[in-house]
């Protein structure tokens, strides 16, 4: 569905951009595109939408060039931006009319459904909507024409947990219908929930593409522990540190083992959490170096 080949975008003075990025997204899959802020996610998305032009390389959607065939591509693309900027003075209804006015085919029933599911008041002015409601509107305008490809750029920012849940349900429904989804985010855990594969981008370069299954099975936990006895580091404990009487390390092995081991140290406090993206990178680099 998406084929990005050696894409390079260099902005005038700014070093940020993307460099020699290649990736393919298969039809019908949900592809997570993750990386810290400023890594080049938005640059990639903007290239797909032809808001910006590639310095070198190319991007194709369904075999069509993102620069030359941009118009045709957009007939089958829906886009939800990270920050919503719509025409504040328009009513929701008028805005949707305008938005779908660009499309030849729209699914009126589906739009009504979405408005109902998301519980959005269409008579209100966009300017008076809360962030969450604006996001709902963004979802509807991106889906009403039944796109074959959905491009999401940090779509859950500003959504409360309940709405996030609804949103992910909509995504899963879309996937069932065969929609391909390109999901850009800096939060690995939210991408994990729905994605089939994940591409990790850092400093404008694609670091790794992995299936979510692999990541989860490979993923280490972050352990923070306070004990009354001193811990002796074992081989499975990566990135081992002791700050203020608190040990932190990453652990990849069977957790049962670890708990048994730790119980002998007389635990005062124990936190087991998902490591941040940065830490996964570290973990990844370390394991790569070892290999």
Partner 1 sequence: MKNIIKHEFKRNFRSLVLWTTIIVGLSALMLVLFPAFEDSMGEMLEMFDAWPAGFLEAFGLGEGGLDMGNIYGWYGVEGYLFVLLIGGSYSAVLGSSILSKEEDEKTIEFLLSKPVSRTKIIFGKIFVIILNLFLLNLLMSIVLFFSFVLFGEFDFLVWVLFSFAPLLHQLVFASISFFISVFITKSRAVISISLGLVIGLYVVEIISKLTDSAEFLKYLTPYEYVNAVDIVNNNIQGIYLLITFIVITLSFVLSWMFYNKKDITT
Give residues in contact with partner 1 (CB under 8 A). 11, 46, 49-53, 70-72, 74-75, 77-79, 81, 83, 85-89, 98-99, 101-103, 141-142, 151
Nearer to partner 1, 95 or 251 (CB): 95
Residue of 61, 278, 34, 43 whose CA lies nearest to 155? 34
Least distance to partner 1 from the beta carbon of 75, Å? 4
In sequence order, which ranges of 76-218 are alpha helices (DSSP H)?
92-100, 108-118, 131-143, 161-176, 188-194, 212-218
According to DSSP, residue 85 is labeled -
Least distance to partner 1 from the beta carbon of 46, Å? 8
Q: Could you tell me the maximum CA-CA distance found in the chain, to the nearest angstrom?
A: 70
Nearer to partner 1, 14 or 123 (CB): 14
Least distance to partner 1 from the beta carbon of 215, Å? 30
Buried b (16+ CB within 10 A) or exposed e, 206-218: bbeebebeebeee
Cα–Cα dist 259/239, whole Å: 18
Cα–Cα dist 38/137, whole Å: 26
Nearer to partner 1, 26 or 68 (CB): 68
Least distance to partner 1 from the beta carbon of 71, Å? 5
Nearer to partner 1, 94 or 226 (CB): 94
């Amino acid at each position: 569905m998406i084929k990005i080949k050696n894409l390079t975008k260099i902005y005038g003075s700014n070093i940020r951009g993307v460099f020699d990025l290649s990736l393919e997204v298969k039809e019908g899959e949900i592809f997570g595109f993750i990386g810290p802020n400023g890594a080049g996610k938005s640059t990639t998305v903007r290239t797909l939408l032809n808001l910006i032009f590639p310095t070198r390389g190319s991007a194709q959607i369904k075999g069509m060039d993102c620069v030359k065939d941009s118009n045709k591509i957009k007939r089958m693309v829906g886009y939800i931006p990270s920050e919503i900027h719509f025409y504040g003075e328009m009513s929701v209804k008028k805005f949707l009319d305008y938005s779908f006015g660009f499309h030849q085919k729209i699914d009126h029933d589906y739009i009504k459904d979405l408005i109902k599911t998301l519980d959005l008041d269409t008579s209100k002015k966009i300017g008076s909507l809360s962030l969450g409601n604006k996001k709902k509107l963004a979802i509807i305008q991106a889906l009403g024409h039944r796109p074959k490809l959905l491009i999401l750029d940090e779509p859950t920012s500003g959504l409360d947990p309940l709405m996030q849940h609804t949103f992910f349900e909509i995504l899963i429904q879309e996937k069932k219908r065969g929609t391909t989804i390109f999901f850009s985010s800096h939060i690995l855990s939210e991408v994990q929930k729905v994605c089939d594969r994940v591409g990790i981008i850092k400093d404008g370069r694609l670091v790794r593409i992995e299936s979510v299954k692999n990541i989860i099975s490979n993923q280490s936990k972050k352990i923070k522990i306070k004990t009354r006895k001193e811990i002796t580091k074992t081989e499975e404990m990566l990135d081992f540190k002791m700050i203020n009487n608190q040990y932190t390390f990453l652990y990849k092995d069977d957790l049962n083992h670890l708990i048994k081991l730790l119980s002998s140290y007389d635990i005062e406090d124990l936190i087991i959490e998902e490591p941040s993206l940065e830490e996964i990178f570290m973990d990844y680099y370390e394991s790569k170096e070892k290999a």
